[in-house]
Structure 1
């Protein structure tokens, strides 16, 4: 167990500040993804249960569906763009780490100190590769989950609209009779 912790500490040291930023954004990203997923999961069932109430006028139905959309669905909708941006931040953070690592490599190659030049080159390349890998490891699964989440949210919107139109059609038939 101690060797695993030592290895993790070595990776964190090699990645530098950029790796810490990627990890912090990654924790925030996955927290938001899971919270949004959990909030979106029961929405289809809530919509299928329908709008309850004694008044089934068109105005009442429109109000109830609007309240549902603003109360339950808007919370999910507001998080979708933020999650997309955080996925991009992780990917670009990996690229930033690559660039900073390569800059460190070239800077170390140019310096004329007595230290082993291969060690200097290796440390810069290591930083570049560690941050690139971390950015991709955080962003790729999140992008897949994000696509599934967007699909689920689109299905919720479609079901909400479909049920609203069906309920309005029933209400219209009752009013014309």
Structure 2
């Protein structure tokens, strides 16, 4: 329990050092990971059932060679593809947004440094250092958040592509 309290305090200190923009980075990061976890859950839990239903409907058809049958097959594949790719664009947007929010932290931190310099002059290095850390920490946090999201978003896209290809291969067209 003591370890968790120390961990929470170090996180709180980190957030205080980086300024309020870190809360926005944290929110975008949380949203990104919730969406990615949901997509992984869909790929492993819900999509196999949908895939099996589509394959069963295709196998139950008497006509799989006509033009109409091919359009039905394409429609089922397209619907499955839409469900597979749901929220992928939002995940990629969150990945791209993380460094931009971090840069917003840089701007606000530098504004704080300039305000300190305007009021106190350049004679107080401690106050300037706190503003500079407020400028650099959000940028670093945004970049780390984007890197973690980029890796898993790329893997997720690859899994989605393979799942769609597997469905297409499972529906033979004669």
Q: Is the 8 A contact 1:51 1:64 kept in 2?
A: no
Alignment of 1:156-171 (within 5 A): 156-164=163-171, 167-169=172-174
**1:56 aligns to what?**
62
Q: Is the 8 A contact 2:17 2:133 kept in 1?
A: yes
In the TM superposition, residue 46 of structure 1 has moved relative to its aligned partner by 6.0
Cα separation, 2, equivalents of 1:137 and 1:16: 17
1:26 aligns with 2:29: yes
Give the number of the structure whose alpha-carbon radius of gyration is greater.
1
1:6 aligns with 2:9: yes
In the TM superposition, residue 56 of structure 1 has moved relative to its aligned partner by 3.0
1:154 aligns with 2:157: no
In the TM superposition, residue 146 of structure 1 has moved relative to its aligned partner by 0.5
Q: 1:47 to 1:78 in 2, by over 3 A?
A: closer
**1:173 aligns to what?**
none
Match of 1:67 among 67, 76, 79: 76
Cα separation, 1, equivalents of 2:157 and 2:93: 14
In the TM superposition, residue 45 of structure 1 has moved relative to its aligned partner by 8.1
Q: How many residues align?
A: 165
Q: Secondary structure at the match of 2:87?
A: helix
Cα displacement string for residues 151-171 of structure 1 (whole angstroms, at most 9, x for unaligned residues)? 11111222233333xx221xx
Q: Is the 8 A contact 1:29 1:83 kept in 2?
A: yes
Cα separation, 1, equivalents of 2:170 and 2:6: 57
Q: Is the 8 A contact 1:51 1:61 kept in 2?
A: no
